[in-house]
């Protein structure tokens, strides 16, 4: 695909993050795999003023290939996930309100609702805390995403991955809605969880969901 189109897609995804209320200010970052590397949003640039020329191209060694700006401070997170997950072509990292609030308690999102299966498992795991921008954070996230398409990051935010930025963004929206529902359910009282057998059925049904 045309590299300039991919750069424009990164900008559009960043704008969508802000528009959907998934990340405030300049928080959050997005990337798209390309050939032997990836395009990632730049560091500290408001999405409303970002242009395709601001997007940074990196290789899978962590070197900047093209771009006049510094890459997102979370470029190691994106790099680590692309290395660990050859099936992933797009990554969205954000700080949605409810998902981040749950992440600050270190909680997974368990099988309280069948839609949890949309992230690829019977729970949405919460990765242990590590400082932002570190390889340790990338490693923790990769482990939490094993067999999954989304996870929380303790005391930080959330990640959603996909075959393209549209699907990763849509999944982030779903994760935030599930986080909100779970937080409300916890405030009401005991939460009833679905059985492993029911979640296995849901996972099988989600293989053809939306296709």
The set of catalytic residues is 74
CA distances to 45, 67, 107, 204 from 175, in Å: 25, 32, 13, 19
Consecutive H or E run containing 17 = helix 3-19
Cβ(6)–Cβ(34) below 8 Å: yes
- Identify which of 69, 55, 76 has the alpha carbon closest to the alpha carbon of residue 139: 76
Both tokens assigned to 94: 């954000």
Note the helical H segments in 85-191: 97-103, 135-144, 165-188
Rounded to the nearest 10 degrees, how much is the dihedral formed by the CA atoms of 176, 136, 92, 111? Answer: -30
Distance, CA of 188 to CA of 33 (rounded, Å):
42
Cβ(165)–Cβ(14) below 8 Å: no
């Amino acid at each position: 695909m045309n590299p300039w189109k991919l750069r424009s897609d990164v900008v559009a995804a960043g704008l969508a993050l802000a528009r959907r209320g998934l990340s405030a200010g300049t928080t959050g970052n997005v990337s798209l795999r390309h050939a032997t590397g990836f395009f990632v949003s730049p560091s500290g640039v408001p999405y409303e003023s970002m242009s395709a020329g601001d997007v940074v191209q990196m290789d899978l060694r962590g070197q900047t290939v093209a771009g006049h700006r510094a890459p997102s401070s979370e470029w190691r997170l994106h790099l680590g996930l692309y290395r660990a997950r050859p099936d992933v072509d797009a990554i969205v990292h954000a700080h949605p309100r409810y998902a981040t609030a749950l992440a600050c308690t270190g909680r997974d999102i368990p099988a309280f609702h069948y839609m949890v299966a949309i992230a690829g498992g019977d729970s949405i795991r919460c990765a242990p805390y590590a400082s932002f921008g570190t390889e340790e954070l990338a490693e923790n996230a990769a482990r939490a995403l094993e067999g999954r398409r989304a996870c929380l990051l303790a005391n930080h935010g959330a990640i959603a991955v996909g075959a393209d930025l549209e699907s990763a963004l849509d999944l982030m929206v779903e994760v935030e809605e599930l986080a909100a529902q779970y937080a409300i359910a916890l405030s009401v009282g005991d939460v009833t969880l679905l059985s492993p057998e029911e979640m296995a059925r849901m996972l099988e049904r989600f293989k053809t969901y939306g296709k």
